[in-house]
Amino acid sequence: MDAANRDLATRLTQLKITRDKTEAILAARNSNRIKRHKDAIHAIVSSVEKSKRKVEELKIAAGEELAAISTWCEGVEADIAAVDQDMDNISTCLSEIEQELVDKTRKEQLAFEKELLDQKFKYNEELGKLQSSNANENTSHVGNQGTAAKLPKLAITKFNGTNLDWTRFWGQFTEGIDKSGMAAITKFSYLKEFVVPTVRRSIDGLPFTADGYERAKGILCERYGNSSEVEKAYVGDILDLPKISGNQPRKIHQFYERLLYDVQSLETTGKLSEVNGNVALTIDKLSGIRGDLVRNDENWQSWDFLQLCEALKSWTRRNPVESNSADTPKRDRSTSRVYNTRQQEPKTRGCVYCEDTSHRCSDCPRVTTLDGRKKILAEKRLCFNCTGPKHSRMYQ
């Protein structure tokens, strides 16, 4: 029993020493230190309770009177109860510190928002000066009389969230905004404005700081600018070009413009030479004019995409699209019925892939792969070219 009494006395002494430090620790207003002190008191009180129960058990076993044991227990519990006030003081202090932190954070947020607003005003002012400067620089003089002609202002079309559009957008944004001398948060504002809402959601949660801007660029480059995914998208678009039989200038012009965009984009990314093996398949899609394309070159079978585009460019120049061209649909009774049917359709049909009316089919954020879109069009028996349901050229 002596050992148990000594252990209890040691625990009570330790508790008193720890309690004596409470006032100084609270005065320091360090929340982490206060929390550690609170945990230490909890641990010591638990050990005192355990030692008290041990001594109480030994006293009962030794046959001491219950009244004496009760009196002894009340004395020990009085020492423990004194800790309760300390714990209340500690909890109150922690609450005050947390409230002070909340108030400080709110003040910093208000200051940041004010700074951001000032920065936006400054940005608009800089933008106005920049546009004015560009307008002056782009003024060209025509004729001997020195007539001035102002060139149109350049604008960046919003990024639509597809790998096909990434090279175009990122090149324009990098040269026009990222390499400029604007503040980082101003560039961040531009970046958010130049992407569609589905893309902006992926970077909206980042802090509006220079670090947040760098992280936003990293997220977009990783998600949409992966070189292999971009290359795959352009190659897939080339392979998805429609087969055109016969001489149909309008469709061939559209074919050429789409192919040229993909080829130029692949050339920009330095991947064009890796996909030239698909040239023969692309030429086969133009069976109606293949003879015209390759007639003047005996080595056409070894063409790359640049040579194919050059041949198509020459052909389109020789065969311009006219309003009365042969491939323009005639207005007959059948087409009139199709036209009337279309007029009865709702003006806002919505996305045929996910059936969301808030965006167009080409901007669908949920179904982004070519195979996925073709599968849905096939299941719904919709046209692969225009996704429409009510005309004669249904999916094949």
127 part of a folded domain = no
Q: What is the reported pLDDT for 142?
A: 39
Q: Name the amino acid, one letter, at 119.
A: Q
**C-alpha to C-alpha distance for 191 and 176, rounded to whole angstroms:** 11
Q: What are phi and psi of 195, to 5 degrees?
A: -130, 150
Output the pLDDT for position 324. 56
Residue 148 backbone dihedrals phi, psi, to 5 degrees:
-90, 135
Boundary residue ending a domain (225, 241, 262): 225
| Residue at 335 is within a domain | no
Residuewise pLDDT in 10s, the chain (396 residues):
788 888 888 988 988 898 888 889 989 889 899 999 889 988 988 988 888 888 888 888 888 888 888 888 888 888 888 888 888 889 899 888 888 888 888 888 777 777 777 777 777 777 777 666 655 555 544 344 444 444 455 578 889 888 888 888 988 898 888 888 888 888 888 899 899 999 999 998 888 888 999 999 999 999 898 888 888 888 888 888 998 888 888 998 999 998 998 888 888 878 888 888 888 888 888 888 888 888 878 888 888 889 889 888 988 888 888 765 555 444 444 444 444 444 444 445 678 878 777 777 777 888 888 778 888 888 887 877 777 776 544 444
| pLDDT value, residue 138 | 52
Q: Do 284 and 347 lie in a common domain?
A: no
Task: Report the pLDDT value the prediction gives residue 219, as an integer from 0 to 100.
Answer: 92
pLDDT of residue 390: 62
Enumerate the H helices of the chain as residue ranges: 2-20, 22-28, 31-61, 66-137, 163-173, 184-193, 197-200, 210-224, 227-239, 249-268, 279-284, 290-294, 305-318, 333-343, 370-380
Residue 119 domain-assigned (yes or no): no
Residues 6 or more apart whose Cβ sits within 8 Å of residue 20? none
Locate tokens 């971009």: which residue? 230
User: Alpha-carbon distance 395 to 392, whole Å?
Assistant: 9
> Cα separation of 274 and 289, whole Å?
26
Q: What is the DSSP letter of 182?
A: S
Q: Same domain, yes or no, for 101 and 16?
A: yes
pLDDT of residue 75: 84
Residue 215's pLDDT is what? 92
User: Could you tell me if 176 and 266 lie in one domain?
Assistant: no
CB atoms closer than 10 angstroms to residue 109: 10
- Cβ proximity of 363 and 160 under 8 Å: yes
The answer to whether the beta carbons of residues 377 and 395 sit under 8 Å apart is yes
Extract the tokens encoding 359.
Answer: 């965006």
Residue 48 lies inside a defined structural domain of this protein: yes
- Rounded to the nearest 10 degrees, what angle do helices 210-224 and 184-193 cross at? 40
Supply angle C-alpha 205, 210, 216, rounded to 5.
45
Number of domains in the chain: 4
* HEC readout, 204-225: CCCCCCHHHHHHHHHHHHHHHC
Specify which residues 141 forms β-bridges with.
Answer: 148
d(CA 349, CA 1): 88
Please provide residue 147's backbone torsions phi and psi, each rounded to the nearest 5 degrees: -65, 130
Q: What is d(CA 173, CA 225) in angstroms, rounded to the nearest whole number?
A: 13
C-alpha 376/C-alpha 115 separation (Å) is 49
Distance between CA atoms of 208 and 117, rounded to whole angstroms? 12
- Give the residue from 80, 111, 142 where a domain finishes: 111
Please answer whether residues 233 and 162 qualify as being in contact, where contact means their C-beta atoms are separated by less than 8 angstroms: yes
Q: Is position 98 within any domain?
A: yes
- DSSP element (H, E) containing 287: none
| 10 and 92 part of one domain | yes
Q: Are residues 26 and 94 in the same domain?
A: yes
Question: Does residue 291 sit in the same domain as residue 356?
Answer: no
Q: For residues 6 and 106, state if they share a domain.
A: yes
Which pLDDT value is given to residue 147? 44
Question: What's the CA gap between 327 and 279, in Å, rounded?
Answer: 26
Same domain, 205 and 236: no
Same domain, 50 and 103: yes
Q: Which domain holds residue 201?
A: 163-225
Find the largest Cα–Cα distance for the chain: 125
3 state DSSP class of 347: coil
324 in the same domain as 249: yes
Backbone torsions φ then ψ of 158, nearest 5 degrees = -60, 140
Q: Output the CA torsion 85→88→92→93 (10° steps).
A: 60
Q: Looking at the structure, tell me whether residues 16 and 96 fall in a common domain.
A: yes
- Among 379, 393, 394, 386, smallest CA distance to 349 is for 386
Residues 6 and 103 in one domain: yes
Residue 133 lies in a domain: no
Residue 153, domain member (yes or no): no
Q: Residue with structure tokens 């007639």? A: 295
Task: Decide if 126 is inside a domain.
Answer: no
